[in-house]
Structure 1
Amino acid sequence: MTNHQKRLAVPNSWPVERKTETFTVKAGAGPHGEAGVPLLILLRDVLGYVDSRKEARYALNQDSVLVNGDAVSDEARPIGMFDILAFAEREEYYRVFPDEGGRLALTSVDEDAASSRLGRISNKTAVPGGDVQLTLHDGTNVRVDAEDAGEYDTKDSIVVDNETKEIVAHFTYEEGALVTAVSGQHAGRIGEIDEIDVTLGSGSNAVTVSADDGDFETVEEYVVVIDENFTGDDE
């Protein structure tokens, strides 16, 4: 199996130039599915911390790069929306956040903000033992007690502590909630949900969002509930 990916065929969310060269690195197996950007691209092409795959492997073998609180050794590890990258020796911390146009961008945050990450609940299922499993947008799972499970629903967002892996905050998907568009023509825009228009049948519900730069409408799959600490304006 090839380790390369044609640049013209990469997802729109990848922060790479498509016409400069023919190939780029291929993402490995892991979170975020096909939308995940290989860590090497962020280290080499976005941050400029390394010049080659060899240098990236050396740096990662020193446990100097943390993703969501865990040391990463695979330069092809997929990185995606709301992941936290920490470079403790440099005292630099970044959150992966959707930019205008849907491209993933790195937003600098402080150490405290980098101690947890945001996740959108995409599925909720009962598991053996009586607990309930919340599956997040990147495919990771968080377990909650059955008696607490009623608080959470799909499309809600939770904040997970990177060290304890426990839920430290919960944001409900509802009218009035602060959201960011993560896909579609309005990707990167932030505002409050003004109205949720429920569509009968199998069609997607429409969401009207009130933003400082004007209202916009999109489908609810394209918005994620956040709070003011997750807008990139941490300072």
Structure 2
Amino acid sequence: MTKHQKRLSVPKSWPVERKTATFTVKADAGPHGEEGVPLVILLRDVLGYVDSKKEARYALNQDSVLVNGKAVSDEQRPIGMFDILSFVERDEHYRVFPDEGGRLTLTPIEADAADSKLGKVVGKQQVTGGATQLALHDGQTLQLDDASEYSTKDSLVIDNETNEIVAHFPYEEGALVTAIKGSHAGQVGTVAEIQVTAGSGNNTVVVEQDEDSYETIEDYVVVIDEKFTGDDE
């Protein structure tokens, strides 16, 4: 299996230039599936903190780079939407957030905001023993004795150390959302209407902005809180 990824075929969310070279780094298996960006790309191409994979490996071996509160050693570890990237020695913290156009960007955040991350509920099922398992967009799962208040398409804020739910944002009319795919990717607004499509078609949602609105596929939006946009910094 090849260890390289052609730049022209990387997901649109990857923050890489497509015509500067033929190949870029391929992500290892892990969270976020094919959408996950190799950590070394963020360190080298976005932040400019390293010049090569060798330098990235050295930095990671110092346990000074944290992803969602945990030290990482794999420079090709996939990084994706709403992950928290922290640099201990620099006292810098970033949240991965989609910009307008859908590319993943690093939004600076304060240290206290780096203790938790946002997750979209993409699955809910009962498991052996009677507990309910919630699956989040990045592959993380949570098992709860009572998950009656949570539904798919809701968003949860998860403490990075304890994995406890510290905030819950229901998917409903009036919720603040950001589009993560499609022509409106990166745009933030309020859900004005949820349109249920009969049959196997995609449900759609109308999102209101200051003086405008747009319609997009329901699966393309994620419920957020105002602080997740970075506008409060």
2:113 corresponding residue in structure 1? 113
- Tell me, yes or no, if structure 1 residue 34 matches structure 2 residue 55: no
- Contact 1:121–1:157 (8 Å) recurs in 2: yes
Deviation of 1:129 after TM superposition, in Å, equals 2.2
AA of the residue aligned to 2:226: E
1:84 corresponding residue in structure 2? 84
- SS of the residue corresponding to residue 12 of structure 2 reads coil
Deviation of 1:143 after TM superposition, in Å, equals 1.5
Q: What is the number of equivalent residue pairs in this alignment?
A: 233
Cα deviations by residue, 1:141-194 (Å, 9 ceiling, x for unpaired):
11111xx21100000000000111110000100000000000000000001000
Give distance in 1, aligned partners of 2:89 and 2:130.
Answer: 42
Give distance in 2, aligned partners of 1:200 and 1:165.
Answer: 37
For normalisation by structure 2, the TM-score amounts to 0.98
Deviation of 1:213 after TM superposition, in Å, equals 5.2
- SS of the residue corresponding to residue 31 of structure 1 reads coil
Gaps of 5+ in 1: none
2:189 corresponding residue in structure 1? 191
1:12 corresponding residue in structure 2? 12
- Contact 1:109–1:234 (8 Å) recurs in 2: no
AA of the residue aligned to 1:67: V
AA of the residue aligned to 2:195: D
- SS of the residue corresponding to residue 230 of structure 1 reads helix
Given candidates 209, 221, 229, the residue that maps to 1:231 is 229
Q: How does 1:143-162 map to 2 (within 5 A)?
A: 143-145=143-145, 148-162=146-160
Q: Which runs of 4+ in 1 moved over 2 A?
A: none
2:213 corresponding residue in structure 1? 215
For normalisation by structure 1, the TM-score amounts to 0.97
Given candidates 179, 199, 202, the residue that maps to 1:201 is 199
Give distance in 2, aligned partners of 1:71 and 1:184.
Answer: 33
- SS of the residue corresponding to residue 148 of structure 2 reads helix
Gaps of 5+ in 2: none
CA RMSD after TM alignment: 0.8
Deviation of 1:234 after TM superposition, in Å, equals 3.1
